[in-house]
Chains A and B, each alone.
Chain A
Amino acid sequence: MHKLSVSDLSKGLANKEFSSTELTKHFLKRINSFNHKINAFITITEEEALKEAALADNLIKQNQQKPLTGIPFAQKDIFCTNGIKTTCGSKMLSNFIAPYDATVVTNLKENQAITLGKTNMDEFAMGSSNETSYYGPVLNPWNTTTVPGGSSGGSAVAVAARLAPIATGTDTGGSIRQPAALTNLTGLKPTYGRVSRFGMVAFASSLDQAGPMGQSAEDCAIMLQALAGFDSKDSTSIDHPVPNYQDSLKNNIKGLKIGLPKEFFTKDLSPDVSATIHNAVKELEKLGATVKEISLPNTNLSIPVYYVIAPAEASSNLARYDGVRYGYRCKDPKDIIDLYKRTRTEGFGNEVKRRILIGTYVLSAGYYDAYYLQAEKVRQIISNEYFAALKEVDVIIGPTSPDPAFKLNSKKDPVSMYLNDIFTSGTNLAGLPGISVPAGFVNDLPIGMHIIGGKFAEEKLLNVAHQYQQVTDWHLKTPKEFT
């Protein structure tokens, strides 16, 4: 059952081949057997899951089900779940029982999806390897000496090892797409404002976006249908109509114009990764797409701009963690400043503290103009390049990540870790949607093809990915140890 896609599971439930309760028990058993090997889950919500499954089974009996009714999934531990621990991978929230549901959570509940548990993640979503979590690193099921990518590493690994058929993730600089690429999943970051951020613990408010991570574009389309939509409780939510994402999957892609930025395919890119992506693009050409070289001249500035803006926004967003109203508090504070300083120093891990310090510095008097204001202007320049390119072509394609999964503890220098975001961070800066699609293997490790579209082009991205997945089978492969 765990080898089936969400769309097949939904058909199986409708045809009464199995019940949601049986399905849920099956995945809970797999989680109990395998989670210790890969550390995908922080909290397993067994009791709640079985209750939800029983309710779903009633609806299915009465033939009142929706596409996600009775389907178990894994929830990234960044979404507030009422009555359930929500840790964000941090000691700071290790005792935090969320008092309300995030809109993402509410939407999935309204679609009767079954929450198996809360997945492990880089602390406060800051990381590209899932090594910064207070709850220990997540291991890549394709090779457990390597990282799964981050920050949505736990969600990626839960699906890759088939401990859940699908999962939610969040993406600020690549945190859905990069772990999807490193674990052979399809992961979509929607257009900024497409999915509500209400109840999603904030890292960088102008960059964060939630999205699906699954076995296929079709499965991602099913989950995105439940997640997308205007929410008045999120002041950055955009009121744009939500199309039927499944309907357009079957369209052919004849005449699709693909742009390959020459700055993504320099001599610095591994020849194996480059060849994998070019082969993937050839498949799209066979389906009728045309390809041309384009230019995104300031590609190499995405990382410096991102690592000014994201830490700056994070330093502001994480100022709320002060030990006063919720979360961790240090013991026996002697005065208010001691309360703040020791709570925050003890409660946050090193990467989070590093980014808060950088963010505070670039926003401080005397440095604001040279760093933060300048970064915002360069952000506009980078974004304009994407917008201009997307007038010439329909989609932009490149590798999701410069390399496949790397060894645990191999990138000790923060800057070398940051370079993982080179292809993905520009998409967040411009607010555009991007999808990573399994495209092959290098050294037995998965490689993802990254497809970027214009604002609200999720339909197009899912369509292109789905058509690619009709003529290739990379996305069907699973790691041997977890079959």
Chain B
Amino acid sequence: MTELEIKDVHKVADLARLKLKDDQVAQNIASELNNILKMVKQIQKIDTAGIQPMDHPYQTSQRLRKDEITEKDQREKMQKLAPEVEAGLFLVPKVVE
């Protein structure tokens, strides 16, 4: 695995919807992330042939419930928290040109 460079950090930040002020900040972050990745790389030496990935402490499947409406409409209460709301809709800057 090669080390992260500035362009890689910009790409990951874009995916995570984070903004990096400038290349200096990107370089600092690249160094920090590379240190962390150097530490976690140890896992790549381990032979995991035949091992099932563990994404959860239990071998259970998603519990299901009946497809019935059990909650009441609380739109007004929940939307009180929103930065900008109009006619029951959340307002954001224009998305589609």
Contacts and interface: CB of A to CB of B under 8 A. Distances in A.
B95 A431 contact: no
B94 A380 contact: no
Contact of B77 (A99, A236, A345, A353): A99
Minimum-distance CB pairs A-B, first 8 = A431-B57, A376-B53, A377-B48, A380-B54, A326-B81, A340-B17, A329-B83, A304-B40
Interface in B47-76: 48, 51-58, 60, 62-63, 65, 74
Nearest to B84: A329
A265 interface: no
A378 B44 CA distance: 9
A304 B44 CA distance: 10
B57 A192 contact: yes
B93 A335 contact: yes
A308 B43 contact: yes
B16 A360 contact: yes
A364 to B, nearest CB: 6
Nearest to B90: A324
- Indicate the member of A304, A345, A358 with the most B CB atoms within 10 Å: A304
B87 interface: no
A474 interface: no
Contacts of B77: 99
B18 A341 contact: yes
Interface string A363-382: 01000001101111111110
A207 to B, nearest CB: 9
27 contacts: A99-B74, A193-B58, A206-B57, A235-B63, A238-B60, A300-B42, A307-B39, A319-B17, A325-B82, A325-B90, A339-B92, A344-B18, A348-B18, A356-B18, A357-B13, A357-B16, A357-B29, A357-B33, A358-B37, A376-B54, A377-B54, A379-B53, A380-B54, A383-B57, A413-B35, A414-B32, A430-B57
Nearest to B94: A335
A192 B56 CA distance: 9
Contact of B55 (A308, A376, A381): A376
A333 B33 CA distance: 29
A403 B59 CA distance: 35
A304 to B, nearest CB: 4
A97 B78 CA distance: 10
Interface of A: 96-97, 99, 192-193, 206, 232, 235-236, 238, 298, 300-301, 303-305, 307-308, 315, 319, 322-327, 329, 333-342, 344-345, 348, 353-354, 356-358, 360-362, 364, 370-371, 373-381, 383, 413-415, 418, 429-432
A70 B78 CA distance: 31
A216 B96 CA distance: 59
A375 B43 contact: yes
A360 to B, nearest CB: 4
Nearest to B50: A377
Given A315-B16, A431-B56, 6 more contacts: A238-B60, A344-B17, A370-B1, A376-B53, A376-B54, A378-B43
A430 B77 CA distance: 39
B43 to A, nearest CB: 5
Contacts of B19: 341-342, 344-345
A383 B58 CA distance: 11
A232 B42 CA distance: 39
A72 to B, nearest CB: 28
A378 B41 CA distance: 12
Contact of A304 (B8, B41, B56, B57): B41
A334 B16 CA distance: 19
Given A232-B65, A326-B81, A354 B54 contact: no
B43 A304 contact: yes
B2 to A, nearest CB: 11
A323 B40 CA distance: 32
Given A99-B78, A381-B51, A374 B44 contact: yes
Contacts of A364: 12, 15
A41 to B, nearest CB: 23
Given A357-B9, A358-B33, A376-B55, A381 B63 contact: no
Contacts of A303: 39
A361 B33 contact: yes
Contacts of B81: 96-97, 99, 325-327
A376 B4 CA distance: 23
A432 B32 CA distance: 31
A339 B93 contact: yes
A334 B48 contact: no
Contacts of B18: 341, 344-345, 348, 353, 356-357
Contact of A354 (B32, B44, B60, B93): B32
A371 to B, nearest CB: 7
Nearest to A321: B17
Contacts of B65: 232
